[in-house]
Structure 1
Amino acid sequence: MVASWPEPIVSVQALSQAGVSTVPNRYVKPTHQRPVYKSDQSGLDMEIPVLDMSDMWRNPEGLKRVRKACEEWGFFQVVNHGVDHGLMERVRGAWREFFDLPVEMKRKYANSPDTYEGYGSRIGVVKDAKLDWSDYFFLNYLPSSIRNLSMWPSQPPKIRELIEEYGEEVKKLCERLVETLSESLGLEPNHLMKAFGGEDKVGASLRANFYPKCPQPHLTLGLSSHSDPGGITIVLSDENVAGLQVRRGDCWVTVKSVPNALIVNIGDQVQILSNGIYKSVEHQVIVNSGMDRVSLALFYNPRSDIPIGPVEELLTDNRPALYKPIRFDEYRLMIRQKGPSGKNQVDSLLAST
């Protein structure tokens, strides 16, 4: 992997705070990639499903709802998920405080494209690429042996403890969700977890996102359209500012956060394992001119060094294996080199290509 970014890094938050009145050209998206707002999509008034975790657990009707959400949307919100609501608020607040620190303090954690770990402002190493209107902090969480605590922020006080506490609670939620997804596919509860490599071998990473105010939000995106490369993603959204959009056919649906809910989305590895029954759906983030936005994503992923391919029990004569197996570390490298690009990465694994 390359050791440095192709151009000097500019903090998007610093641009916003400097009061720029126009979006610099490197952030202006081509016309066909610019955000679409609800007012531009006549009649679109849909919401991603909201599921109650207490109804899903070992409940045939709940499992049917999970399956329907994963087949039709690839996204759902969960309530009664077991993660402490106060903790959710505290960890979100701590990250907001971090991004409010002087830029010199944040740059102590500046990242590079070899690991992405730390504070950054771009994804992908293609020179002169159009960039997204966001800053972020990325860190490795599981397995614990790969944690680099020297790259975890030390300010504001207790942020490291909050990362640890929040990560442990969301990890437990992910374990339950992987069992639930397995059962909803008609498999044994532990089938998908075994395919992930076992719960003591899975990987997880955390990404805190900061989307600053933008003078021309109709020209750019906080995060370009993509599907997540890993297993499942748990998003702690900003309840005060909408931003996440999910593709639904030819439309984009803006997600309205339910209080104290977490957003779950299916990643490319589950699409591959399910042989395309479950969908990792394109999503993007819009920005606005009036408010900053903070969100937190935990990516729960298969062990990096084992091939991931369609589950044999889900193959039939009418539906043979759709995808070629690939190790997750190879797959992730594709994303890190190219940056977000819709569904191109997972489509490149189709057996017919």
Structure 2
Amino acid sequence: MEEMLASTRRFHELPREEKMAFYSRDVTRPVRYVSNGRLLDRAAPADWRDTLAFHVPDGGLDQQSVPPVCREVATEYLKQTLKLKNKLAELLSDAAGLNRDHLSTIKCMESQTMACHYYPPCPQPHLTIGSSKHTDPFCLTILLQDHNQGLQVRNHDRWVDMPKSAQGALVVNVGDFLQLITNDKFKSVEHRVVAQSSTTRSSVACFFGPGSENKYRLYGPAKELVLLGGDHVEPVYREVHLVEFLDYFKSNGSPLSHFKLS
């Protein structure tokens, strides 16, 4: 885990011309480097953050597409987080009152994306943000972060600083899509990263959602959690395709309220 953070820093601290070989705003590329991801969004300040992103398609990731400076470590870390995701899927299914294999059976966490973030010191942190406020749209996020603070979560109308991470600790976030599937039993959390004037922050986020073969499959609250009418719990959300869900997220942020039944 420490080596994954170190390899993230090594890539982002390479000479500019070496990093630019991987620069792209084409989200279909399996490996790409991007600076100021919200630069083209005029409705919000640009994020003070650089990112090396990996999208692991259904057939796996071609190692030769990974920057040599982090190739071995990143490939192994992707494998290990996939194993952890499988265990978390069982635990979350059980905690929601579903069969232990429910989340794996409905294939809602088959796609993996990894974002290696680098937040350099900002000379005017009050004018920007490290990462703008958002919820994660997919099912699950496994976050590895260094000891530098900056991550905040929203608690009602207040932003609360997350404590420094203990060595070897991971943060697990529930995403919007899992909130929909569990009919609000699990809640996604709005979070952001504030810019810092004197410290550099590194983090690695792994996101899990439905794979491309299921992007037009209808997902909704688990039938085992809801029964229509009577004294039983009714579904909070309508069924939705992943594509429709993500299209709304890209334009408007969290889609949950949009897909509520009432």
- TM-score, normalization: structure 2? 0.89
The aligned residue for residue 68 of structure 1 is none
1:132-185 deviations in whole A, cap 9, x for unaligned?
111111111242x2535454212x2xx111111111111111111110000011
CA distance in 2, matches of 1:331, 1:104: 37
The aligned residue for residue 246 of structure 2 is 332
Q: SS where residue 320 of structure 1 aligns?
A: coil
Greater relative CO, 1 or 2 (CA 8 Å, sep 6+): 1
1:170-185 map, 5 Å: 170-185=81-96
Task: Please state if 1:244 is matched with 2:158.
Answer: no
Q: Is the alpha carbon distance of 1:163 and 1:326 closer, same or farther for their aligned partners in structure 2, counting shifts above 3 Å?
A: same
Q: Is the alpha carbon distance of 1:338 and 1:125 closer, same or farther for their aligned partners in structure 2, counting shifts above 3 Å?
A: farther
Q: Is the alpha carbon distance of 1:326 and 1:150 closer, same or farther for their aligned partners in structure 2, counting shifts above 3 Å?
A: farther
1:271-310 map, 5 Å: 271-304=179-212, 305=215, 306-310=217-221
CA distance in 2, matches of 1:171, 1:285: 25
1:17-36 map, 5 Å: none
Task: Please state if 1:133 is matched with 2:48.
Answer: yes
CA distance in 1, matches of 2:219, 2:40: 27
Letter in 2 for 1:276: D
What are structure 1's unaligned runs of at least 5 residues?
1-87
CA distance in 2, matches of 1:217, 1:251: 19
The aligned residue for residue 167 of structure 2 is 259
What are structure 2's unaligned runs of at least 5 residues?
none
Letter in 2 for 1:118: R
CA distance in 2, matches of 1:127, 1:97: 28
1:62-100 deviations in whole A, cap 9, x for unaligned?
xxxxxxxxxxxxxxxxxxxxxxxxxx0111101101000
Work out whether residues 39 and 47 of structure 2, in 8 Å CA contact, stay in contact via their aligned partners in 1. no
Work out whether residues 206 and 298 of structure 1, in 8 Å CA contact, stay in contact via their aligned partners in 2. yes
Q: SS where residue 168 of structure 2 aligns?
A: coil
CA distance in 2, matches of 1:338, 1:212: 27
Q: For structure 1, which segment, 322-331 or 202-211, has the greater mean C-alpha deviation from structure 2 after superposition?
A: 322-331
Report the number of matched residues: 253
CA distance in 2, matches of 1:152, 1:307: 33
Task: Please state if 1:89 is matched with 2:2.
Answer: yes
RMSD: 2.1
CA distance in 2, matches of 1:323, 1:123: 30
Q: Quote the sequence identity (%).
A: 34
The aligned residue for residue 234 of structure 2 is 320
Letter in 1 for 2:260: L
1:122-201 map, 5 Å: 122-123=36-37, 127-130=41-44, 131-143=46-58, 145=59, 147-149=61-63, 151-154=65-68, 156=69, 159-196=70-107
CA distance in 2, matches of 1:307, 1:286: 36
The aligned residue for residue 121 of structure 2 is 213
Work out whether residues 113 and 124 of structure 1, in 8 Å CA contact, stay in contact via their aligned partners in 2. no
Q: Is the alpha carbon distance of 1:167 and 1:114 closer, same or farther for their aligned partners in structure 2, counting shifts above 3 Å?
A: closer
- TM-score, normalization: structure 1? 0.67
1:84-124 deviations in whole A, cap 9, x for unaligned?
xxxx0111101101000011111111122442640012446
Task: Please state if 1:346 is matched with 2:260.
Answer: no
1:211-266 deviations in whole A, cap 9, x for unaligned?
11011222321111111011110000112x10111111111221111221100000
